């Protein structure tokens, strides 16, 4: 009997800043966290500039496409440093998390932040 494959981790971030120092620190934190958890890393996807500030996120879309092709073979995760790296607005973040779920994965943070409110409760306007 073989051991199950570790989750395949898709690291995502966004940055509108011209300075990349904080971005690189967050990405390194994600890599270090995934390594510590024993997760395989599929790659990094980063939306920069205007794409980091809008709902049109081409790199996130590419990540979801790549994630969907792997989801049938093993557990897939979208790893972000904190929830704000996905979106600062809770409703927008939950909608993006729904896209990750639709691609066959789940979203986690390097701080193991609770996912409150639950996506379903938030989308229908109920408290968790």
In a domain, 21, yes or no: yes
In a domain, 128, yes or no: no
Whether 127 shows a pLDDT value over 70: the answer reads no
CATH at residue 21? 3.40.50.1390
The Cα 13–Cα 24 span in angstroms is 10
3-state secondary structure the chain: CCCCCCCEEEEEEEECCCCCHHHHHHHHHHHHHHHHHCCEEEEEEEEEHHHHCCCCCHHHHHHHHHHHHHCCCCCEEEEECCHHHCCCCHHHHHHHHHHHHHCCCEEEECCCCCCCCCHHHHHCCCCC
Q: What is the mean pLDDT of the chain?
A: 89
When divided into structural domains, the chain yields a total of 1
In a domain, 15, yes or no: yes
- β-strand 8-15 against 76-80: which pairing, if any? parallel
Q: Give the tokens for residue 9.
A: 């981790």
Q: What is the structure's pLDDT at 81?
A: 97
Q: Residue 4: which pLDDT band, with cuts at 50, 70 and 90?
A: confident
Whether 116 shows a pLDDT value over 70: the answer reads no
Q: What is the structure's pLDDT at 1?
A: 64
Whether 117 shows a pLDDT value over 60: the answer reads no
In a domain, 85, yes or no: yes
Mean pLDDT for 55-77 is: 96
Q: Residue 34: which pLDDT band, with cuts at 50, 70 and 90?
A: very high
Q: Residue 62: which pLDDT band, with cuts at 50, 70 and 90?
A: very high
Q: What is the structure's pLDDT at 101?
A: 96
Q: Name the residue range of residue 14's domain.
A: 8-123
């Amino acid at each position: 009997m073989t051991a199950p494959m570790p989750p395949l981790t898709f690291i995502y971030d966004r940055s509108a800043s011209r300075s990349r120092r904080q971005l690189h620190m967050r990405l390194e934190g994600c890599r270090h966290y995934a390594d510590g958890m024993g997760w395989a890393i599929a790659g990094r996807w980063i939306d920069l500039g205007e794409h980091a500030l809008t709902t049109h996120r081409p790199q996130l879309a590419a990540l979801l496409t790549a994630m969907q092709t792997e989801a049938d073979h093993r557990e897939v995760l979208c790893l972000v440093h904190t929830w704000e790296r996905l979106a600062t607005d809770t409703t927008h973040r939950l909608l993006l998390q729904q896209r990750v779920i639709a691609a066959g994965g789940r979203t986690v943070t390097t701080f193991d932040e609770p996912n409150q409110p639950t996506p379903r409760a938030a989308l229908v306007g109920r408290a968790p």
